[in-house]
Chain A
Amino acid sequence: MGNALKAGIVGYGYMGQIRKTVIEEHPNLELSAICDANLLLADSDFGCPIFTDYRDILEKDVDIVFVCTPNAFSPEIVISSLNQGKHVFCEKPPGRSIDDIRDIIEAEKANTPAKLMFGFNHRYHPCVNEAKVLVDSGRYGKILSLRGVYGKSGGLGFEDSWRNKKEISGGGILLDQGIHMMDLFRLFCGDFQEVKGFVTNSYWNIDMEDNAFAMLRNEQGQVATLHSSATLWKHTFRLEVFMEQGYFVISGLLSKTGSYGRETLVVGKRQFEDETFALGNPREEVTYFDRDLSWITEVSDFVDCIQNDKCVTNSSSTDALKVMELIGRIYGDDPKYKVERFGGGGE
């Protein structure tokens, strides 16, 4: 543990607990403190000091702060941590609005060399990795279009979650979950210049959207469509990548509960040169993945950036800003559902 970085966790909910496991498994990290405003357990339960105020952690000898709090609290904690010279790993989304991420970036710039990374862990899922390798190989030509569906089953207590309280989360299903798919769109196709969106509240009694539909187009003419939903009644993750010489379908996601289904990558090759001979069912190869290494791999990437003084290029603050701008434009494009507080809308 001689060269291990000391890590503190702020926010010990679902994500905080996942991060704790990752920190404990990582050879270059050492858990030094946990903070949660509602934590009633003693230090001995965790093997490290426990605090209820995040400022206490910043006074400690901690190298990295993992910010795992609800959206309303993340920006302040991230900025304070950066101002104290700490490296920061922050869960997505990076706050409730575009202004939040802009403020964070200012603090990042003012506190070089402190590193900052955001938890867009879907980039690190094995099926996404494999698809990205295939796309980058060039063997399938250029990407023509993307189609993504990401949705929740809803369920008992859905309306009561902090994620569905506007003053805490800042946005509904699009900001909570659709943001991952938007991030993957950018991973595969880069930035998008044109944005069209519909944002609806079609079923749940919440003051934010439970469905978002978006169409994006970039300067290369690549089009991506998104359906982010809290009314699919089944946990669903599906990203289709259509290319000149074939297609990939990423579906299911390895998760703690397995509720998104087996993580799968289908690779199909275009099997005709002349449309007359097109096959309705081309040869496909399906790969099933058994182990989710996304959490550990993304943190390893961050640790590598810190220990070897590398720029954060994956899930960086620029990635966070760009994806928040896209989300802002989707909200802003629907006059019936303009989220004033999100800012940066599409007018």
Chain B
Amino acid sequence: MKTTVQYDDIREFEFKPGTTLSSYLQLTRDDVKSYFLSGSSLVDCSCPACLSHERSEAFSKFGLNYQECSNCQTLYVSPRPDENAIDEYYRKSKAREFWNQHLLTETEAKRREKLFKPRVQWIIETVEEYFPSAQRFSSINSVHPPFLQELVESDYFKKIRIVTPRADLSHVNCEKDGVQVVNDAIGAFSNPTDAVTLFEVIDRLSDVNAFAGALDKMLVPGGLCFLTTISISGFDLQVLWDKSNSIFPPDRMNVLSTEGLMLLFERHGFECIELSTPGLLDVQIVANAYKENASIEIPRFVRYLMEQRDNDTLQTFQEFLQMNRLSSFARAVFQKK
């Protein structure tokens, strides 16, 4: 197994402009109320990562309760809406519409250059090393037009598919790029696949365990699963906890620890090739949160760090977090045995 550390210059607001993000969070709060809290039935669940029932109440966000798993420290919503309710939300909610029309559009150029180009490179290099005969690629449950364009332009895979039951595909011109769209859940998709991407997908699933089982059936032996997610093992999430703007339902119903992530995939017969937390923003996020609200409760050491030390120290601290898998942005590669 390996872990990767990256050095780059990225600012938090390049991807999530402050005012736009506030509007999105407000819309999400309203939509959660109308989609999940009025009439819809919520179901209790065990830890999505390790299946343990041992837990403690963490906090409540937008009316839904987060639990902390006592076994692997994964943070998750329980009780929670079922898969159909979540699909409905992602197809129709105002928050999602706003995300596609504003947040994605306003930051598309930056995302393409700084997120998706390197991600395509990451996928190709890993495939070349671990499964060089891979030709059939599927992007699961998520549609990022700049990513797909980069992938198509790389001309690496012979077959590219999007498999999703829930996303609004109106803003993607798949035909032009030769990308096949399968408007279904992966459990219903029977064609074998060599490599899949799950970009921020497990974060918002109702039944993570069933999804991982379906993924296992979909991938051929030796097939690769590329995954990005936020992780509760990360610095900014641990420090800010319920005050974090990154933890909210339903986008982040499952915030797995790195240990939980390993347990989930190993349980389903995958081997971990890479588990990295190459996040660049943890320290910045905490610093910005502290700047905006100096009365926010953060540990004394962190406060001292923010107030007394310069950017070089903060940069070094961020690198330390990456090296030790303690940043909140995680990426992983799992290979089906």
Q: How many angstroms between the C-alpha atoms of A130 and B125 in the bound complex?
A: 9
Are A283 and B8 also in contact (CB < 8 A) when A126-B2, A290-B2 are?
yes
Q: Is A156 an interface residue (CB 8 A)?
A: no
Q: Is A133 an interface residue (CB 8 A)?
A: yes
What residues of A have a CB within 8 angstroms of the CB of B124 in the complex?
Answer: 137
Interface 0/1 of A122-137, CB less than 8 Å to B: 0000100110011011
Q: How many angstroms between the C-alpha atoms of A286 and B6 in the bound complex?
A: 6
Partner among A285, A290, A291 whose Cβ is within 8 Å of the Cβ of B5: A285
Contact A288 B5 (CB under 8 A): yes
Contact B125 A291 (CB under 8 A): no
What residues of B have a CB within 8 angstroms of the CB of A284 in the complex?
Answer: 6-7
Q: Is A289 an interface residue (CB 8 A)?
A: yes
Interface size class of B (residues with CB under 8 A): 10 to 19
Partner among B4, B6, B8, B125 whose Cβ is within 8 Å of the Cβ of A133: B125
Contact A130 B4 (CB under 8 A): no
Q: How many angstroms between the C-alpha atoms of A126 and B1 in the bound complex?
A: 9
Contact B3 A290 (CB under 8 A): yes
Q: Is A287 an interface residue (CB 8 A)?
A: yes
**Chain A interface SS verdict (over half):** mixed
CB distance from A135 to the nearest CB of B (A): 11
What residues of B have a CB within 8 angstroms of the CB of A289 in the complex?
Answer: 1-2
Interface 0/1 of B101-140, CB less than 8 Å to A: 0000000000000000000000011001100000000000
Task: Give the nearest-CB partner of B127 in chain A.
Answer: A133
What residues of A have a CB within 8 angstroms of the CB of B125 in the complex?
Answer: 130, 133-134, 137
Q: Is B37 an interface residue (CB 8 A)?
A: no
Q: Is B323 an interface residue (CB 8 A)?
A: yes
Q: How many angstroms between the C-alpha atoms of A3 and B125 in the bound complex?
A: 35
Number of interface residues, chain A, beta carbon within 8 A = 16
Task: Give the nearest-CB partner of B278 in chain A.
Answer: A285
Which B residues, 6 to 53, have Cβ-Cβ distances below 8 Å to chain A?
A: 6-8
Q: How many angstroms between the C-alpha atoms of A346 and B1 in the bound complex?
A: 43
Partner among B3, B7, B8, B128 whose Cβ is within 8 Å of the Cβ of A287: B3
Q: How many angstroms between the C-alpha atoms of A284 and B319 in the bound complex?
A: 12
Task: Give the nearest-CB partner of A284 in chain B.
Answer: B7
CB distance from A96 to the nearest CB of B (A): 36
Partner among A133, A134, A283 whose Cβ is within 8 Å of the Cβ of B7: A283
Partner among B3, B6, B8, B129 whose Cβ is within 8 Å of the Cβ of A288: B3
Task: Give the nearest-CB partner of A129 in chain B.
Answer: B129
Task: Give the nearest-CB partner of A136 in chain B.
Answer: B128
CB distance from A282 to the nearest CB of B (A): 9
Partner among A133, A288, A291 whose Cβ is within 8 Å of the Cβ of B128: A133
18 residue pairs of the A-B complex, CB under 8 angstroms, read A126-B2, A129-B129, A130-B125, A133-B125, A133-B128, A133-B129, A134-B125, A136-B128, A137-B124, A283-B6, A285-B7, A286-B4, A286-B5, A286-B6, A286-B7, A287-B4, A287-B5, A288-B5
User: Top 4 nearest A-B pairs by Cβ distance?
Assistant: A286-B5, A133-B129, A290-B1, A289-B2
